[in-house]
């Protein structure tokens, strides 16, 4: 599988930043993806973000990355693989940062909507179970998943326009 990285998350920088903050700091980890057609083949842009809410009330620092991969769900009405890839990626990021997060409050946010009228509802229970099993935290879904539904979108928008390497 070919992965094209646009903005790579510098994990040591994120870990050092988190470690330098007080225990009152909160960490939110989220992911989002969008499909696009490139050379007549569907791809997905995956954006991962880490929102470090300093002392839980003093503003935040946003770190993120965006990568592009082929989307093997070639039909838009079958997004299961792409959506679960988001979940796998956010779990992997959580595990990579777990030691730096320590005992700080942490939330994993998934850009999934439990409302059956939305396409992402098809994987909500599977995704929640995966995050609970792998990360040992109960993830947040829409409308309570701002790191996935807002911060990831905003990160991709900002980093694309400003060509930021890994932090905004």
Residue spans per domain, the chain: 3-162
Domain over 3-162 is classified CATH 3.40.50: no
pTM of the model: 0.89
Q: Is the pLDDT confidence value at 167 over 50? A: no
Q: Write out pLDDT tens, residues 46-90.
A: 999 999 999 999 899 999 999 999 998 767 777 899 999 999 999
Q: Is 44 exposed, middle or buried (0-12, 13-18, 19+ CB in 10 A)?
A: buried
Q: Is the pLDDT confidence value at 168 over 50? A: no
Cβ atoms 18, 96 nearer than 8 A:
no
């Amino acid at each position: 599988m070919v992965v094209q990285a646009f903005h790579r998350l510098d994990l040591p920088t994120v870990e050092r930043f988190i470690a330098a903050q007080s225990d009152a700091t909160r960490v939110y980890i989220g992911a989002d993806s969008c499909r696009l057609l490139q050379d007549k083949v569907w791809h997905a842009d995956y954006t991962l973000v880490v929102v470090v809410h300093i002392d839980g009330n003093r503003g935040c620092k946003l770190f993120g990355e965006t990568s592009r991969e082929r989307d093997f769900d070639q039909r838009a009405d079958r997004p299961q693989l792409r959506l679960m890839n988001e979940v796998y990626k956010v779990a992997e990021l959580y595990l990579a940062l777990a030691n730096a997060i320590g005992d700080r409050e942490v939330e994993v946010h998934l850009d999934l909507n439990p409302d059956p009228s939305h396409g992402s509802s098809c994987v909500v229970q599977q995704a929640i179970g995966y995050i609970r099993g792998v990360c040992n935290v109960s993830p947040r879904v829409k409308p309570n998943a701002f790191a996935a539904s807002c911060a990831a979108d905003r990160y991709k928008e900002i980093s694309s326009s400003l060509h930021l390497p890994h932090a905004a």
